[in-house]
Amino acid sequence: MAQVSVVLIGCGGIMNVHARCLSPLRDLARVVGCVDVVKERAEDFADRFGCSVYTDPVKAVAELRPEAAIIAVPPNAHGFEEELLDYGVHLFIEKPIAIDLDLASRILRKIEKTGVVNSVGYMWRYLDVVQLAKKELPSPDSIGMIYGQYVWAANFPPGHWWLKKSLSGGQIIEQATHTIDLIRYFAGEAVSVFARLERRLSKDGTSDVEDSSVITIRHKSGVASTVVATWRSANTLQETFVRIFARDLVVDIVGHQRRAVFYRNNRVEDVRSVVDPYLEELRVFFEAVKSGDTSGILSPYSDAYKTLELTIRANESHNSGRIIEV
């Protein structure tokens, strides 16, 4: 079967991970163009694939007419997707899908209108250990509460876009979104959120992003969840996990370690993943583009929009000092 023609948009950061996955997926997809606002970055990527170089994503899609695009740009740089959709290109978009709900809503409506295949990079959903936990906890009915954590020690160079909240959206929108998304996956949709997002650990003036965050979520299912996050931890303590307290079962999902621990009465199971979630999410996307069957896509744009909405409402809660309905 013919390969899916793909344009890579945003040649840096997480795109390096996606680019590495394209080699084992070469029977499914081939890169025809690389796009970045910094031409040298696009050229570096193009050297790997022997393809065309662009600095404008719309021009690249208009001229190359690829079947699909992989988009990995800073959160504030989204919006060009509306024009790409005029060409019927299928979209794989890295999270977060935007930092503005109005913009994300417009893109969502156009995706729904055009009917293109779409997927968002919430890769933890594709871990086999997550699916094992989902099989045991298919609905929130037996879940009491969930505790999520995103503790990290950042090492960004001065002036990096992540350090400006107007560009990144802040840690909750840009990073802890993975934790919140996985909580949604098990607990269901939120009805309200309350958050305190403080800047107490980074007083050197290099960033305006909050570094000490606590978020409490009430879900329609009745599940209560809490997320704590910081990007200013000591580099000897960096932990990211979701802990689910269910009836006669506690499950720890440790995404970055690609493992899950199942605590049962009198028995503990530590299960390691045997899949690369970045590879799996792209494989599923390309197969959906080829077949038209999107049933394997675990995070379509419409679902990722709900995660974005919840993280934005958390920021609104902090700003207002109130519980915000979702």
CATH code for the domain in which residue 54 is found? 3.40.50.720
106 with 188, same domain?
no
Q: What is the mean pLDDT of residues 94-100?
A: 97
pLDDT given at position 4: 98
pLDDT given at position 235: 95
What whole-number distance in Å separates Cα of residue 5 and Cα of residue 252? 38
Q: How many Å is the maximal CA-CA distance in the chain?
A: 62
150 with 103, same domain?
no
18 with 149, same domain?
no
pLDDT given at position 308: 98
Q: Collect all residues with Cβ–Cβ distance below 8 Å to 174 and sequence separation of at least 6.
A: 75, 96, 162, 168
Residue pLDDT, tens place only, 103-135: 999 999 999 999 999 999 999 999 999 999 999
CATH of the domain at 247: 3.30.360.10
Containing structural domain, residue 131: 124-275+308-325
78 pLDDT more than 80: yes
Q: Residue 278 is inside which H or E element, if any?
A: helix 277-291
95 with 171, same domain?
no
252 with 142, same domain?
yes
203 pLDDT more than 90: no
Residue 218 lies in a domain: yes
| DSSP-derived pairing of the beta strands 249-254 and 118-120 | unpaired
Q: Under a CB-based contact definition with an 8 Å cutoff, are residues 218 and 224 in contact?
A: yes
Give, as one character, the DSSP assignment of residue 36. -
142 pLDDT more than 70: yes
43 with 143, same domain?
no
270 with 286, same domain?
no
What whole-number distance in Å separates Cα of residue 191 and Cα of residue 324? 8
293 with 257, same domain?
no
pLDDT given at position 156: 92
Q: What is the mean pLDDT of residues 13-38?
A: 96
Q: How many residues make up the chain in this entry?
A: 326
Q: Under a CB-based contact definition with an 8 Å cutoff, are residues 68 and 91 in contact?
A: yes
Residue 303 lies in a domain: no
What whole-number distance in Å separates Cα of residue 317 and Cα of residue 325? 9
Which residue matches tokens 């079947």? Answer: 67
17 pLDDT more than 70: yes
33 with 149, same domain?
no
pLDDT given at position 1: 58
Which residue matches tokens 């919430």? Answer: 122
269 with 155, same domain?
yes
| DSSP-derived pairing of the beta strands 249-254 and 52-54 | unpaired
| DSSP-derived pairing of the beta strands 52-54 and 212-219 | unpaired
Task: Report the number of distinct structural domains present in the chain.
Answer: 2
Q: What is the mean pLDDT of the chain?
A: 97
SS3 letters across the chain: CCCEEEEEECCCCCHHHHHHHHCCCCCCEEEEEEECCCHHHHHHHHHHHCCEEECCHHHHHHHHCCCEEEECCCHHHCCCHHHHHHHCCEEEECCCCCCCHHHHHHHHHHHHHHCCCEEECCHHHHCHHHHHHHHHCCCHHHEEEEEEEEECECCCCCCCHHHCHHHHCCHHHHCCHHHHHHHHHHHCCEEEEEEEEECCCCCCCCCCCCCEEEEEEEECCCCEEEEEEECECCCCCCCEEEEEEECCEEEEEECCCCEEEEEECCEEEEEECCCCHHHHHHHHHHHHHHHCCCCCCCCCHHHHHHHHHHHHHHHHHHHHCCCEEC
Residue pLDDT, tens place only, 227-277: 999 999 999 999 999 999 999 999 999 999 999 999 999 999 999 999 999
88 pLDDT more than 70: yes
240 with 96, same domain?
no
Residue pLDDT, tens place only, 289-314: 999 999 999 999 999 999 999 999 99
203 with 286, same domain?
no
Tokens at 315, concatenated: 């920021």
Residue 318 lies in a domain: yes
Q: What is the mean pLDDT of residues 51-75?
A: 98
DSSP structure string for 91-130: EEEPSP--S-HHHHHHHHHHHHHHT--EEE--GGGG-HHH
Question: What pTM did the predictor assign?
Answer: 0.97
